[in-house]
Amino acid sequence: MCGRSSLTKTEKELEERFKSSFYSDELIRYNPLPNYNVAPSHYHPVITNTEPDKFHFFRWGLIPFWAKDQKIGYKMINARVETLMQKPAFKTPLLKRRCIVPFDGFYEWKKEKDGTKTAYRIVLKQTEIFSMAGLWEKWTNEKGEDIFSFTVITQAPNSLMSKIHDRMPAILNPEEERLWLENDVPVEDLVKLIKPYPDALMDAYKVSSRVGNVRNNDASLIERLPEILEKPKDQSSTEDSNRHTLFD
């Protein structure tokens, strides 16, 4: 599951990276940047297939148009690529309402043998800003107000992520981003874009456990914690010498 991320760049940096612009009134209304601890229910910038040259702020956690309560969005922050065409909440958005979701990192927790969890931040090595494939929806509440929401697509992990978690977000290459937003691409070809991002192009490092509390939102959350390596008992043992190094 991908349920916590970061986007610490300015709107100008995002506009330059994606060649899309923000609506001034939405920036004034939400003013979400920078956000070191993006969480479900937060409003976050997305670029949709219906207006690919503009950023919009949508609520994280997809609310299907047929939902009776917006709380269902908390259960739909992610959409598994394997079942997109089987789930009623995701099938139509996959065909008609796709988006890309910009981030500069995401967090995941690794379960340790002693039962504790270690927080990691995952970033890309060759670009500071990247995008995840997403779906969006419009839901109207009892007051007649439209709420726009999105979900992030997830997939099986690459070798790096498998050491931390059993899922990873669908990260798109820059050349695939606009293709994901094209309206005339067959759905079979769209799904083929969802593949594990090369682990050699990613980096994962430990961060403060403070990121687990959504109320914490400051630059210290993305700081790399120092690795503490224990001295192996047998210096001649390659297995022992690598025991405490998670990533090569």
| Residues designated catalytic | 2, 108
Distance CA 232, CA 234 (A): 5
Q: Token pair of 216, please?
A: 């914490």
- Name the residue type at position 50: T
Q: Would you say 148 and 62 are in contact if contact means Cβ atoms under 8 Å apart?
A: no
Q: Would you say 36 and 217 are in contact if contact means Cβ atoms under 8 Å apart?
A: yes
Number of other residues whose CB lies within 10 A of the CB of residue 244: 12
**DSSP string covering 157-171:** --TTGGGT-S-EE-E
